Chains A and B, each alone.
Chain A
Amino acid sequence: MEKTNNQTYHESFTKPIIKVGRITLLLAVAFSFLPPLYLWMRYDALPPLNAILTGWFLIASIYGTYYFIEPISFFPILGVAGTYMSFLSGNIGNMRLPCAAVAQEALKVEPGSEKAELVATLGIAGSIITNIIVVTIAAIAGNQLMAIFPPVVVKAFEYVLPSIFGAMFAMFAVKYPKYGGFAITVTLFLLGVVKVLPVWVLIPVCVFSTISFATFSYKKKAK
C-alpha cells in the first residue's frame, strides 16, 4: 500500500515536475540571451569575443563554484521541485527557504513527508509571485515610490538580512537544539578562528557537517 502510494505520487508530481523544471530552466538560459543579442542587433554593440570571454572568466572565477555548490547544498532542504523553482527565481536564503519553512510550519506538516514537499512547493510559488510583483513595481516606479519611504525605514532595511537569518536559525534551533548548537559552533569557529576558507568551501562544510552530525545522532538514537 505504502509503496503504491509512493509510486502514484512520483507519477503524479515528481515526474512531471522534473520534465517541466528542465524545460523551463533551459528555456530561461535561451531567453537570457535576448538582451545582449538585442544590443548587438539594434546598437551594433557586440564586444570582441575575447572581451566577452574575459568578463565571463573573471566573474566565473568568483561565482563558478557556486553553480554547483549551492544547488547541491540546498537540495536536502528544497527537494526537487523547490530546487527548480529556487534556482530559476533566485533569492534563496532570504526568501525561498524562509517562505517554504514558514508555510510548512503554519500547516504543521511532518518534516520530510510528501505532504511537506507539496506545501513547500506552494509556499515557494506564492513567494515567487510576490517577488515578481514587487520587483516589477520597483523597476517601473521605484524612484518615485522611494520618496514616500521615510529615511529611517530605508535605513532599517539595511538590517533585513541579519534579521531574517537570525529568526530562521532560531526557528529551527528551537526544534533541533543539538543540531543548532553544532551548526553555529562550526560556523563561528570557521569564520572567526580559521578565517581563511573560501565561501565555496564554507557553505558545503556548514551544511554537510550538520547533516552528518544529525544523521549520526539519529541513527545512534534509533539503535
Chain B
Amino acid sequence: MKEYLEVANDPILWLMSLPVVVLVAIQAIIFSKKAFKTASLVQLTKKEAKDAFRVGAISAIGPALAVFVVMLGMMAVVGAPMTWLRLSVIGAAPTELAASTMGAQAMGVEFGGEGYGVLQFANSVWAMTLNGIGWLLFVGLFAHKLEGIRDRVSGGDSKLTGEIGGAAMLGAMAYLVGGHLIAGSGRLIAALASAIAMIVLVKLSGKIPKLVEYNLGISMVIGMVAAIIYMG
C-alpha cells in the first residue's frame, strides 16, 4: 500500500467526515417532518405521505447500487473516508476524481503516481472540498430567490407550473440520455430498451395501479439486461 493511503484511511478521518454525512440525513429528516406537518393543508393523508417517502426510498436502491460499484474505484485512490464524505454530498465520482487529479497537477505530480504523497493527497482533498462548496454556497445563498422567478414566469398558474416542470424534466433527461444515444452500442441499446419498457409499463399500469412505483426499477433492469445481451 502506498504511504499516502495509510493517511487517507486514517480512522480519525472517518470522524472528520461524519458531520457532513449526518447533516445530510438530518436535513432530510427535518424536511420530511415539515412535509408531514403541512400535509393536511393540501389534502395529503398521512398514509400517502408515508407512501411517498417509501416509494422514494425504494426507487433509489437501483441507482444507489450503481454508485456503490463506482465507489470502489474511488476508494482505491482517495481512501474510504473521503469517498464516503464526497459521495454523500453534491458531486459524483467522476467530479471528485477530476478534482483530485487537478489537486495533484497543481502540486506538479501525477494523481496516484510517482511523488504523490501525503502533502499531494492533502491538495487533492482541498480541490475536492473547494469544488464541492461551489454548489453549496450558490444554493445556500440564492435558492430562495429562484422561487420568485418561477412564480413570475408561471404567473401563479399551477397547471402551467406543472407543464413547465414536465418540460424542464424532458429537457434535462433528453440532455442526459443524448450522449448515450450518440455513443451507440450497448449504451444506446440500454437507453432504447428501458425507454420502450417504460412506455409499455405506463400503459399496463393503467390496469394495475400498484405497478407504478416499480416502473422505473423494472425498466432499468430491462435496459441493463438488453445491453448485456447485445454486447454478448
Contacts and interface: CB of A to CB of B under 8 A. Distances in A.
B89 A39 contact: no
Contact of B182 (A17, A121, A188): A188
Contact of B31 (A20, A110, A157, A188): A20
B125 A36 contact: yes
Nearest to B72: A142
A154 interface: yes
Contacts of A16: 34
B59 A113 contact: no
B7 A39 contact: yes
Contacts of A154: 69
Interface residues of A, number: 157
A16 B35 CA distance: 11
A96 B193 CA distance: 22
A56 B130 contact: yes
Given A75-B150, A206-B171, A35 B16 contact: yes
B160 to A, nearest CB: 6
A123 B52 contact: yes
Contact of A132 (B21, B63, B154): B21
Interface SS of A by simple majority: helix
B126 to A, nearest CB: 5
Interface of B is mostly: helix
B202 A174 contact: yes
Interface in B151-189: 153-154, 158-182, 186-188
Contact of A25 (B72, B118, B140, B223): B140
A152 to B, nearest CB: 7
Contact of B171 (A47, A80, A209): A209
B199 A170 contact: yes
B140 A26 contact: yes
A162 B198 contact: no
Contacts of A102: 55-56, 59, 212-213, 215-216
Contacts of A170: 194-196, 198-199, 202, 219
17 contacts: A9-B42, A13-B41, A18-B144, A26-B141, A71-B138, A83-B139, A88-B139, A90-B88, A125-B29, A130-B56, A142-B71, A166-B195, A170-B202, A171-B202, A210-B171, A213-B167, A218-B160
Given A12-B41, A119-B52, A211-B171, 20 more contacts: A22-B140, A32-B129, A35-B16, A39-B7, A40-B122, A54-B106, A87-B90, A97-B169, A102-B56, A113-B158, A125-B28, A130-B57, A160-B220, A163-B221, A168-B173, A169-B173, A179-B166, A186-B174, A188-B181, A211-B167
